[in-house]
Amino acid sequence: MTKGVYINVTGYGLRIKPKWPFAFIHPADVGGDGTALGVIRCGEDGQPHVTAGPDRPTWRIETQLYSVTWPSGFTLECAGENDPFAPFLLWGPDKSLIWVQGPIRRTRLTAPSDLVGPGQQVVDQQANSIELAYTEEGAPWRQSHHILDLDQDRLAIVTSQAPTPHATQTLKSGNQLAHSFRTNE
């Protein structure tokens, strides 16, 4: 029996169903065509289930509720066996991280400013996003949140965070991921 949350990775004519616990790497484009994908760990036997899938020139991460484009340079890892609100994590350099939370009841979040934590300063705010600066273990970090509509009552949040030297690329990748967000309807 497969543990964890339903996730597929699709693209380039393939559908890859990892076994929990898993971690796959989509390295920065080394061959020029974006197809590079590696398995770090995948279940007890180390083998994902691979079948024919969509023939599109990009990798997408599919969950039960939505799919997103997987940015290169990030490692896809299962978030936890029973965490349906953040089914996967995308790890980048130096603990950079992108993740999607949801569904969240719209009544729990009235504005992007609700996402500002203690010690964080607002750098930029738009109608559905906010960028923050803060210090973590003595080093400057940046964080962004993109609020996405799922339906009339629910939303999702794409969060990106990184130490300042990696913030530009990580927040850009998080923004691209947010714009690629598609609900499964």
Indicate the pTM of the whole model: 0.88
In angstroms, rounded to a whole number, what is the distance separating the alpha carbons of residues 103 and 157?
8
Model confidence at 31, in pLDDT bands (50, 70, 90)?
low
What pLDDT is attached to residue 7? 86
Instruction: Please state, rounded to an integer, the average pLDDT across all residues of the chain.
Output: 86
Q: Between vectors from CA 167 to CA 161 and to CA 171, what angle results, nearest 5°?
A: 65
Residue 138's pLDDT is 96
Tokens encoding 42: 């995948």
pLDDT classification of 67: cutoffs 50, 70, 90: very high
Higher pLDDT, residue 18 or 152: 152
Over range 31-40, report the average pLDDT.
Answer: 59
| CB contact at 8 A, 20 and 4 | yes
Domain ranges of the chain: 1-91, 93-165
Q: What pLDDT digit, counting tens, does each position of 92-110 carry?
A: 999 999 999 988 999 998 8
Higher pLDDT, 115 or 37: 115
Distances (CA, A) of 9 to 42, 69, 73, 147: 13, 10, 15, 23
d(CA 131, CA 8): 30
Report d(CA 59, CA 91) in Å as an integer: 16
Task: Quickly state the pLDDT bin for 2 (edges 50, 70, 90).
Answer: very low
Q: What is the DSSP secondary-structure string of 99-115?
A: EEEEEEEGGG-SSGGGG
pLDDT at 35 over 70: no
